[in-house]
Amino acid sequence: MNFDLLVFGTGSATPVINRHPSAFLLSIENESFLIDCGEGTQYRLIEQKVKSSRIRHIFISHLHGDHYFGLIGLLSSWSLNQRKENLTIFAPRGLDEILTAQFKHSETRLNYKINFVETDTENAYHILETNFVTVETIPLHHRIPCCGFLFRSKTSKRKIVAEKLPENFSIPYLKMLKEGLDIHDELSGITYKNEDYTVAGGVSKSFAYCSDTVYNELKISQLQNVNAIYHEATFIDSELKRAEQTNHSTARQAAMIAQKSKAQQLIIGHYSSRYKTLNNHLSEAQEVFENTLLAEEGKSYKI
């Protein structure tokens, strides 16, 4: 199963050349999910040749500008380009008021419908289920209401080994094989054993997006054994007090979350503008959790 994370932005609130604000595209099979939408996200989408029609859901973690200031431009441009697909936006309370005011005073009339879903940032609960994925919130602790998102792909049905089946095999029988059933054809007297004509489908994969948050172990039980975690690492440990004052995490703290969650992989980002290089972020995190990667803009990560 295709399960990829494309990074658009790795910076934090203060602008830095070549380091854009938070925005990520998670692709699962033929579905694409935009996670946060910092300033300039529409340009990142164009650069990476992303088909906007595949984005039917946008997830905004919180209402600090570096996580949603790119949204109004993106939504407006989609309308100018005659988008027709409806869109659902998941975000904390207030974003719908902000968008409504912007559209009102710019006299913007969208060609498509937006369904706004207000997130409860205090509790973990399911907010979406599609053909391929389920999504639940991850309560985070920041200066304003904030939550992350946990994506889990569904286990796919068994796959048919077509070359082993006779020609013109019944479609209802194919569906039964995909469900894991054996088939007995009374007309021919032949029994088709499922294990002889199918192979196991894809296993479920999981990805946790942990946006701005102070170090907190409450989410560890929810993140147990996930395939990959993206976790903010705004500072390194030498700025621990600053991290605590601003309700952010250090690279070491992000690694501790991954280690205690028994995750397979950690991707860190949301770097403070004070850091010109990120070697210390990586080495600090890898001391605790070896399989740590730096989020790099324009790079895709297989989950």
Query: What would the DSSP string read from start to end of 150-169?
Result: EEEEPPPPPEE-GGGSPTT-
The dihedral built from the CA positions of residue 118, 206, 10 and 18, taken in this order, carries a sign that is: negative
Give CA separation, 125 vs 129, 152, 222, 247, in Å: 12, 13, 11, 23
For the record, the structure tokens of 92 come out as: 């904390």
Rounded to whole angstroms, the Cα distance separating 72 from 63 reads 13
Could you say which of 66, 96, 120, 237 is catalytic? 66
96 is catalytic: no
Amino acid found at 49? K
Rounded to whole angstroms, the Cα distance separating 121 from 3 reads 26
Going by C-alpha positions, the residue among 228, 230, 243, 231 that lies closest to residue 275 is 243
Amino acid found at 293? L
Query: CB atoms < 10 A from the CB of 37, how many?
Result: 30
Going by C-alpha positions, the residue among 63, 71, 18, 60 that lies closest to residue 36 is 60
The dihedral built from the CA positions of residue 119, 132, 4 and 280, taken in this order, carries a sign that is: positive
Task: State the alpha helices, DSSP H only, in 179-250.
Answer: 194-197, 240-246
Tell me if 147 sits within 8 A of 137, measured CB to CB: yes
Which residues belong to the active site? Answer: 66
